[in-house]
Amino acid sequence: MPFDQLAFAARRPYLFHLTARDNVARIRRSLSLDSMAQLASEAGRKDLIAVRRREHVTVKVRGEAVHIRDQTPLHEGNMLLENGWTFARFVRYLNMRVFFWPGSSDGPISYGLRHFERYIGERPMLLRVSTEELIRANPGARIVYCRYNSGSPRWSRGIPSPRGETTFVPANLAPFSPAKVVEVAVLDRVRLPKGTTVGSSPSGPWRRLF
């Protein structure tokens, strides 16, 4: 069912973004998060945009190293691609977006917790931002919603997971309720509000990023 973005914010008051510890200083200076495609373009590495990352990648943006996470769980054989879609097109589709896990003051939903646990040995950092503040800080931005983990397709009841144009949808076209949202994504770049905090675990402690 379609929903209002602020109604979603009331249901999921916080959004969480996982990043490499070494990326935090750049994020703090830029006041924003860039999609992988945006970073690769600025680094002169457009060749990476439509290719699944089997391991982490480091690119140089204006002489500064930026660490981009792998896409190991993104298996083509687990997908049912929509008509006209190829695997490379879907990889590009994902790479053009900045991703968040929704949650509450207690931390992200279970999908986000599992994502953090996957990389815990690397000592990643989590950004926590008020959902409402992020929406208000990005007027006109294409904020879209997904009801499953888009980057980790699985078979269910003998059927591969559907992927394509309808993987992410705007709130006013969503065929699901705010409670069913698993991922939130923003096209290209998202401005972070002043209240953004950063921590080394899903439960904090949290400190101001800016």
Query: The whole model's pTM is what?
Result: 0.97
Question: 């899903």: which residue's tokens?
Answer: 202
Could you tell me the two tokens for 17? 């973004």
> Each residue of 23-33: pLDDT tens digit?
999 999 999 99
Measured between alpha carbons, how far is 70 from 151 in angstroms, rounded to an integer?
10
Could you tell me the two tokens for 76? 């083509």
Give the mean pLDDT of 171-194.
Answer: 97
Q: Which residues contact 161 (CB under 8 A, 6 or more apart)?
A: 78, 79, 80, 148, 153, 154, 155
Question: What's residue 193's pLDDT?
Answer: 97
- Residue 152 pLDDT > 90, yes or no? yes
Question: What's residue 23's pLDDT?
Answer: 98
Q: Which residues contact 191 (CB under 8 A, 6 or more apart)?
A: 31, 32, 137, 138, 141
> Each residue of 11-24: pLDDT tens digit?
999 999 999 999 99
> Each residue of 38-89: pLDDT tens digit?
999 999 999 999 999 999 999 999 999 999 999 999 999 999 999 999 999 9
Domain limits, the chain? 5-205
Name the phi and psi angles at 162, rounded to 5.
-70, 140
Question: What's residue 169's pLDDT?
Answer: 97
Q: How confident is the model at residue 1 (pLDDT cuts 50, 70, 90)?
A: confident
Q: How confident is the model at residue 135 (pLDDT cuts 50, 70, 90)?
A: very high
Question: What's residue 120's pLDDT?
Answer: 97
- Residue 160 pLDDT > 90, yes or no? yes
% of the chain surpassing 90 pLDDT: 99
Sign of CA dihedral 136, 138, 144, 147: negative
Q: Is 58 helix (H, G, I), strand (E, B) or coil?
A: strand
Measured between alpha carbons, how far is 207 from 66 in angstroms, rounded to an integer?
22
The answer to whether 31 and 195 have CB atoms below 8 angstroms apart is: no
Q: What is the mean pLDDT of the chain?
A: 97
